[in-house]
Structures are given as structure tokens and as C-alpha cells.
Amino acid sequence: MAELRWNPLLNDWTIVASNRQNRPYMPQNWCPFCTDSGKVPQNYEVHKYDNDFPALSQEPPIPDNVGSSFYKAEEAYGKCEVILYSPKHDVNLWELTREHVRKLVDLWCERFIEISKDERIKYIYIFENRGEEVGVTMPHPHGQIYAYSQMPLKIQTELNSCRCHYEETGECLICRMNMEEKQFNGRIIFENKDFLCYLPFFTDYPYGLFIVSKAHKGKITDFTEGEKDSLANMLIKTVGTFDMLYDRPFPYMMCMHQEPVNSPGYGDSGKYYHFHIEFYPPLWSDHRIKYYASSEMGAWAACNPKSVEETAMELREAYKKFSKIKKG
């Protein structure tokens, strides 16, 4: 069963995807994303793979007859894709060349353009889950794309906040965040000519980095060729910095936030919304996990167990270590 169920308390939809309980854990002697599996091309650098166990589908089943006029259910319309970063099973993203990661950026752009042609799609969400700590069952380097027919609540909240700030001040909220972080400077980890990497003042994860474009651009397809190169460089450095922090593959959730598509209510979002990538790494020491507990899940009252001004110093040291290794 896969369907959308209406949550009247939050004015939002819940995806029900019981079909995903059958997805396999990674066999020790076989990987569907490796070139000898018969599931992917014999030769690829980056590759789009339709999810075998999608939560959303462009040919969704009819919802179960268990709802009512009050408890609404709708088809789980959308798309779920897997984006393979490399044919190498054990490679880390930061070990790839900038030219290779640029091809990943280009594939994201291609998929964004193609998926947006479906007028029923309202938001295209590019993301990566890394590590068993966030539920990854397939360790081969990959990310995913979910295309939603309903605007996700968090994205909608961000869009509304940015629109309100723009209407009140005439400025982009995230441009203002960039300015505040540049002025304070203590939470910026590194930057290049087109992007900043910093721990926002408010982040609820001790190492919850943001990658934010310096120019006011709403979506990944707005970037110039040079900016796409810069984004590839930032991704390599960010993941490499994480892995140097505790000298281990660092688990995280990487979430790309950008303008919606086919959404007349946000048709002018290019004025006030701004491309950024949010990282949610669950570790707050080399072996301690930051769980979302009752206050955070039940009340949305986020609590960061560390000061980001302190963890920023740790990340800058990790970045220095990574820079030396990568140069070598």
C-alpha cells in the first residue's frame, strides 16, 4: 500500500508506504548499484536509477477504502529516484575529483528539469542519507530525489517565512543570514567565490552545516557553469571535513532546499527564496547520537546540546586537516 493521508492537526499530508518494508538490507556479496549486478550499466560515472521500492509513483495505486470525508486519502503521486554517485562501491564523495562531482551536479540539474515537466509535481527534493545511524541500508555511494505532488510542510514554512521577511523589509531572508554570518565570522567554516559553508546561529544540530550560495539564486538550475564547479568543490570539502572530525565516515542527512515548481501560489518565489543545502548530522561526539526526543518531536522545540560557536572551531580544525590530506 502507498497513499497520502491527511493530518488535520498540522494541515499536512503523511505518506503511507508499507511497500517499503520489503526493501532489502545490503547483502554482503552483492550490490545492485555495482556494475556487475545486471541492474545498472556496465560503464557509468553517475547514474539515475528508478527506486525499486518507491514511496511515491507516477502510477500510484488507489488508496485503501479506510478513510472518510473527514480523514481524507489521496493517491501517493510523485516520483522517487536513486542517484548513484560512482560505480565504486566503497568510495567516499570527498575522494572523487571535482570534475566527477560536477557531473553529479549536472545530473541533479537534468533530473530537476525533466521532473518539473510533470505539472502535478510541486516540489523536487534532492537529498542524501549517509550511514547506518540515519537508516541507510545500501552503503554504495548514492543520494535520492523525491518529487512531491503536495508541498512539504517544512518547505512551505520556509517559503512563507522568506516571503514575509521580503514583504516587510524588501530583502531576501537568506541573503540577510549570509550577511549576519559574514559579519560575525565565528561560525563560517570555509568559503569559495560562490558559496559559504557555515553553522547557522540557530541550527539544532551541533554540526548542522549549511552550504549557501552567495548570489541570490533560487534553484540549482539557475547557477552558471562556474557556480556549478564551485558547488562541486563545496560538497567535496564539506563531506571531507565531516570525515576528519572523528576520523570516521560521518553520518548525515543532506537536504537541498530550492524553489518549488508548478506552484502558482509561490510563482514569485525567485524574489525571496534562496538556494541552500542543509546538513543534519546525528553525532555530537565520536560515539554519541543526538536523538530527536519528546520535546523536539512532540513540540518542535529544538534543542542543540552544544554551542555552535564551539563546534565551529572543531569543524575549522577538521577542515584544516582535510585540506592537508586532499592536497597531499
**Catalytic one of 47, 142, 274, 276:** 142
Q: Which helix (H) or strand (E) holds 160?
A: helix 153-169
* Long-range own/partner contacts, residues 66-74 (CB < 8 A, 24 or more apart): 67/5, 70/8, 71/5, 71/6, 72/5, 72/6, 73/3, 73/4, 73/5, 73/6, 74/3, 74/4, 74/6, 74/13, 74/150
> CB atoms < 10 A from the CB of 197, how many?
24
Residue 273: how many CB atoms within 10 A of its CB?
Answer: 27
Distance CA 312, CA 310 (A): 5
Contact criterion met (CB below 8 Å) for 319 and 190:
yes
Contact 216, 162 (CB under 8 A): no
C-alpha cell of residue 307: 554551542
Is 142 tagged catalytic?
Answer: yes
**Sheet of 2-7, strand order:** 12-17, 2-7, 73-75
Task: Output Rg (C-alpha) for the chain, integer angstroms.
Answer: 20
Burial class (CB in 10 A: 0-12, 13-18, 19+), 11: exposed
Q: CA triplet 28, 29, 32: central angle to 5 degrees?
A: 95
| 185: amino acid identity, one letter | N
Q: Which residues are annotated as catalytic?
A: 142
